[in-house]
Amino acid sequence: MREVPSHFGPAHADAAKYREMYNESVENPEAFWGREGKRLDWITPYTKVKDTDFTFGNVSIKWFHDGVLNASVNCIDRHLATRGDQTAIIFEPDEPSDPAQYITYRELSEKVNRMANVLLSQGVMRGDRVVIYLPMIPEAAYAMLACARIGAIHSIVFAGFSPDALANRINDCGAKLVITADTAPRGGRRTPLKSNTDAALLHCSDKVRCLVVKHTGDQTTWIQGRDVDVKAMMEDVSPECPPRPMNAEDPLFILYTSGSTGKPKGVVHCTGGYLVYAAMTHEYVFDYHQGDVYWCSADVGWVTGHSYIVYGPLANGGTSLMFEGTPTYPDAGRFWEVCEKHKVNQFYTAPTAIRALMGQGPEYVEKYDLSALKTLGSVGEPINPEAWAWYDKYVGKGKCPIVDTWWQTETGGHMITPLPGAIPTKPGSATRPFFGVKPVILDPTTAVKQDETATEGVLCIADSWPGQMRTVWGDHERFQETYFSQYKGYYFTGDGCRRDSDGYYWITGRVDDVINVSGHRMGTAEVESALVAHQAVAEAAVVGFPHELKGQGIYAYVTLMNDVEPSDDLRKDLEKWVRTEIGPIAKPDVIQWAPGLPKTRSGKIMRRILRKIAENDTGALGDISTLADPSVVDDLIANRANKG
Ligand code: PRX
């Protein structure tokens, strides 16, 4: 175990305080969260704190549910009197030679109010959905907070998703309007967001309006009557827009995420509990103190960007850095150059980025002065010990606690994580639960709770916490089915987990058909359905396999139609096809032509076998006697595509 006391003075918690607060949080959640809820400003204070039920068939989650507040007021207005001139957002553009922008709370307020008035002028009302398809630019934060101000529900679609994926999300949530930009520079290249949006809108109601941020000034098509130049319009509207009082349980946003079956589901987070939880975790987990410069390198298209670029840091009156670029452009020193330039105190990134940079050599880090750093964070996938050690040695200089934060889109905020100054770390372990979180480990087959300290099984959570998702948009049944049906009385995370004899938690990865590619979550079913939509494909099965840089890669077994011959051109065509159907992140790393797939007599594909073949672990295939045709396995092994 490693103790790394802060080299910047006392942290928010020490070991004794963590224990005391944790015990109260699980023994008396009403008192604990009743007090913590007051970190927000309420228009009508709540009298109720927790009203939650995990019983399958009756699942209902409410926090602070008679309270009234507005999220944008909590992230902006309430800071104006004391820190109006403090920088709220530092924007660091893709090109290092372009100037950074420093947006104060006062400026943020004006932008958000103006954007809110633009939305109102387009007929967006309380409860309406607004899809945001923007690069990492300040307008993305303005758009989120403008929605929150008028009570509209935002749903961000990651700018790396394809037009089809965008259209599906616009249609699923019934968005009235999309906010996009002309083009998105990233790593020196440009993604044509507006033309992607044009393509998506061909599959949507013609009532959907399109607000366009002219960011690069690149030429785009313009559809009169549908497209609106947001920046120009913001100049014409009032800089004041009264905030809409919202119930704590009114949805704040929807974020689509992949599951083990079917199409992505719209995870719904509500105003009060989510914001309390995002703010509290941001303060304690990063040990954020007033005046610190905090940088989370995620994209606002993922939950990490929601909770830890926008809502958490701004609710705390912090300074949050938004970075438009990539870790390796113009070279592998970019992250550290930005850390030096803005004297970043807390830095939060994903293991996949660390691994990519590690491979380029330490000289890119050593060039820069990183002495302002005090906390380093990791998120998205288990961090392997080599990456942890590199992060610790070259970036943290052995002086910065590394917080390996385990959580999910569904949980709204950190769930199992070290706290600087309070919980000593072990490389690769997410350590201990955050306040209010009751992790339990169950036997995967018997569902029996494992009470011994050292044990292994599936990870569930025994009781609700304020940041928990409330439902799946438009499908409460699916919500209950996905998270509460398999292990009755518990929230099922989908992750496997080990607890060691010190009571530390080690996440072992997904136990369902979800894979984690560079920290991006992907349902194998989604990639399969994209593949089978191609006219040459009869059947497809997709599994994950260990990948040195990405954590997991995508391995696709493809059975072609009878009259189609496999070829390299077809392989390229299928890769391109998946990119178009979902987005570049879903492109298979390996495609193996499979004359047949291993199926049981009832027709179920035995993915366990496909995983083993993809991992090149063919000595351990286990019992294959239940297969309808065991000989297909020999063919798949003989023709493994991933010979490495
Ligand atoms: O498998 C876990 C993994 O990422 C999943 C959640 O993915 P997503 O909803 O996209 O959210 C990612 C950002 C919060 C989890 O079920 N995961 C996330 N963080 C960690 C992790 N696995 C191990 N260690 C982590 N720190």
User: Residue 3's pLDDT is what?
Assistant: 82
- Asked if residue 265 has its Cβ within 6 Å of ligand 1, the reply is no
Cα–Cα distance for residue pair 391/164, rounded to 1 Å: 37
Instruction: Write down the pLDDT at residue 624.
Output: 80
Rounded to whole angstroms, the maximal C-alpha distance in the chain is 74
Residues 158, 132 contacting (CB under 8 angstroms): no
Per-residue confidence (pLDDT) for residue 642, from 0 to 100: 59
Strands (E), 93-193: 101-104, 129-133, 153-156, 177-181, 184-186, 189-191
Q: In the chain, what percentage of residues exceed pLDDT 70?
A: 99
Closest CA to 2 of 398, 588, 525: 398
148, 193 Cβ separation under 8 angstroms: no
pTM of this structure: 0.95
Q: Binning pLDDT at 50, 70 and 90, where does residue 643 land?
A: low
For 147-166, what is the mean pLDDT? 97
Is 460 exposed, middle or buried, given 0-12, 13-18 or 19+ CB atoms closer than 10 A?
A: buried
Which of 511, 516, 517, 524 for a ligand 1 pocket mutation test, highest count of atoms within 8 Å of Cβ? 516
User: Does 338 carry a binding-site annotation?
Assistant: no
SS3 category, 438: coil
Average pLDDT, the chain: 95
Region of poorest pLDDT, from 347-351, 553-557, 634-638: 634-638
Task: State the distance from the centre of ligand 1 to the C-alpha of 516, rounded, in angstroms.
Answer: 8
Calculate mean pLDDT across residues 321-345: 97
For residue 462, pLDDT beyond 90: yes
- Helix, strand, or coil here: 352? helix
Note the pLDDT tens digit of each residue in 174-195. 999 999 999 999 999 999 999 9
Is 336 a pocket residue for ligand 1 (Cβ < 6 Å)? Answer: no
Ligand 1: distance of its center to the CA of 320 in Å?
22
Q: Return the C-alpha torsion angle 176, 180, 182, 183, nearest 10.
A: -150
Q: Residue range 484-501: average pLDDT? A: 97
pLDDT at 615: 92
Query: Given this model, what pLDDT does residue 299 score?
Result: 96
- The span from the CA of 609 to the CA of 613, in Å, is 6
Please check the confidence at residue 339 and state whether its pLDDT lies above 80: yes
Mean pLDDT of 145-155: 98
CB 404 within 8 A of CB 431: yes
pLDDT the model gives residue 1: 84
Q: What is the pLDDT of residue 619?
A: 81
> Tens digits of per-residue pLDDT, 59-72?
999 999 999 999 99
Order of strands across the sheet with 177-181? 227-229, 209-213, 177-181, 129-133, 153-156, 251-257, 265-270, 471-472
**427 marked ligand binding residue:** no
Is there a binding annotation on residue 360?
Answer: no
Q: Is the CB of 431 under 6 A from ligand 1?
A: no
Q: How far is the CA of 45 from the centre of ligand 1 (A)?
A: 34
SS3 assignment for 300-334: CCCHHHHHHHHHHHHHCCCEEEEECCCCCCCCCCH
pLDDT digits (tens, 9 = 90+) for 5-42: 777 788 999 999 999 999 999 999 999 999 999 999 99
Each residue of 352-391: pLDDT tens digit? 999 999 999 999 999 999 999 999 999 999 999 999 999 9
Taking only the tens place, the pLDDT of each residue in 523-571 is 998 999 999 999 999 999 999 999 999 999 999 999 999 999 999 999 9
pLDDT in tens, 244-279: 999 999 999 999 999 877 789 999 999 999 999 999
pLDDT at 276: 98
Confidence (pLDDT) at 259:
83
Task: Check if 94 has its Cβ closer than 6 Å to any atom of ligand 1.
Answer: no
pLDDT in tens, 388-409: 999 999 999 999 999 999 999 9
What was the pLDDT predicted at 195?
97
- Residues 611 and 252: their CA atoms lie apart, in Å, by 38
Predicted pLDDT at 622: 78
If you measure from the C-alpha of residue 421 to the centroid of ligand 1, how many angstroms do you get, rounded to a whole number?
A: 24
- pLDDT over 80 at 475, yes or no: yes
pLDDT digits (tens, 9 = 90+) for 194-246: 999 999 999 999 999 999 999 999 999 999 999 999 999 999 999 999 999 99
* Alpha-carbon gap, residue 529 to 165, rounded angstroms: 13
Question: Which pair of structure tokens corresponds to residue 415?
Answer: 């769930």
